[in-house]
Chains A and B, each alone.
Chain A
Amino acid sequence: MLLLAAIAVLAAVPWFGSDVLIQFGINALLLAVLAQGWNVIGGYAGYASFGNSVFYGLGSYGVAIAMAQWQLPFGGGLLFGAALAAVFAVLIGIPVLRLRGHYFAIATLALAQVMAAIVSNVKLAGRNVGLVLPPLNNDPLFYELSLLLLVLATLTVYWLTRSRFGFGLIAIRENEEGAAVMGVNTTLYKTVAFAISGVFSALAGGIHAYWVTFIDPESAFDIGLNVKMIIMAVFGGPGTVFGPVVGALSLSALSELLSSEITSLAGLFFGVVVVVAVVVMPRGLADVLRRFRCMGWRYFAENIRSHQL
């Protein structure tokens, strides 16, 4: 009930909010989708992907190419972008998902660079100049689309927590070899998780591309965006249903507030917040909410102690 009310309030924002608030909302909701998408592969399967910004870029380019080059409708572009991301996830996932831990992270870290370089040389994608999309001046629509996508992503993650598939992913995260000898098809599960993660990132990228009406390789394949989604998911609580959403919305608000109040030092303050969060609540907001009730302030004290600072 509380949840439906929250969604209703969020959905009503375009009717009473200012233009600035709506624009902030679109950005924050899309970041929440990205964090939630990362949650599937990073939070549930335990593979810290730095390749999700590639999916985001593919989604952006899918929409841009479909609309600017082929004069297709927006919906067709979204589908095209999502399909690109899914195919890419399978092709690249099969080799890189064999790597574990840091090695997987490093391998995926290079993907965005490589992809930007490739796209810069493709004529269809406008080379390094980028593509201009037909403008649509309807922020409330983009806002509602973003919200709808976030609800879809969150429902998908909720389904994970109840399904065999999600249970298998958690088993892989906890102990991959142990999962395999108990009958979990680890390769298939990881690849599908990577693809689901990729599709949501791509859809977010597609909506963003149409909204800002211009993309180039630099902004579409931005590794900084990937870092952001990880920070947000981890801040909120990876491997939980609402953690990444709460993390993304609260950090977006915080970063917006800081940059409007103290401008140049905002980045620094943001960094301090993240560092403090990692020290006092290493398992995210979701874990704080769960454990604070029974442990009180001792919860933070114990986290600090366990770091042995």
Chain B
Amino acid sequence: MTAMLEISHVTRRFEGLVAVDDVSFMLLRGEILGLIGPNGAGKSTLVSLISGTLAPSSGDILFEGRSIVRLPAYRRARLGIGRTFQIMRPFPGLSVLDNVAVGALFGRGGGQVQMSKAREQARAQLDFVGLAKNIDQRADELGGPGRKRLELAKALAMKPKVLLCDEVMAGLNQVEIEDVIEVIRKVRNEGVSVLVIEHVIKAIRSLSDRLLVLNHGVKIAEGDPGRVLSNQTVVEAYLGKRRA
């Protein structure tokens, strides 16, 4: 399998803090890669570095073999990198439908899409994530679970080749988590490569083809989910040394 994304020795410092420390990994075509780690491990920072809202202090990021590290966020979006935000950021004053239409209008293949066509695609996408009945609501009137779905729909409307999901399951109940897992599986089956950041270990274990673990900005494990989760260093990072 070929790599969609190749993260190569990426480091990001904030003042004195090293949030992401010399991290390298690949996201392969059509796989679901889980990214886990304790709070403050640098997971969201990594997503921001890939989507272009933050620039790395050093290192390179390749998308389909091309370096994208110098490209602004909107160019990366148009190449096919879609992301969701952990702290959900819809366009609050716009309707749910128009929130998603922005993705269809400006994402990959956007530029030629007409307004009415974009709304049509947005409608289909909202149907897909189960928000069909909320399309006319203002985005800031949606509750937490609704906003999580909206984040997904917005990213999917961009027709991404790579989808970066930053904690789309946090705060959802068991049934809602199952729904989102189902959606992510469907997305992958359509050929999208997915990077999933998650705290819900059970969910990510069944969903991911491979797992990647960050701790204090450093990659401490990578590979088969079962093996990674039983790895001594990983258990220590999560539970502390003594209890492990």
Contacts and interface: CB of A to CB of B under 8 A. Distances in A.
A117 interface: no
B32 to A, nearest CB: 21
Contact of A182 (B72, B92, B93, B158): B158
A80 B145 CA distance: 54
B94 A174 contact: yes
A20 B236 CA distance: 83
A183 B91 contact: no
Interface string A166-208: 0110110111011111111111000000000000000000000
A100 interface: no
A186 B83 CA distance: 17
Contact of B93 (A163, A174, A181, A186): A174
Interface of B: 51-53, 72-74, 76-78, 82-83, 85, 89-94, 98, 101-103, 105-108, 110, 115, 154-155, 158
Contact of B73 (A163, A168, A170, A180): A180
Given A167-B98, A181-B73, A182-B77, 5 more contacts: A178-B89, A180-B72, A181-B52, A182-B107, A183-B103
A123 interface: no
B92 A183 contact: no
Contacts of B77: 180-183
A162 B85 CA distance: 28
A164 interface: yes
A184 B106 contact: yes
A178 B90 contact: yes
Given A182-B102, A182-B103, A182-B158, A175 B89 contact: yes
A175 B107 contact: no
B53 A164 contact: no
Nearest to A189: B74
B106 A177 contact: no
A164 B101 CA distance: 10
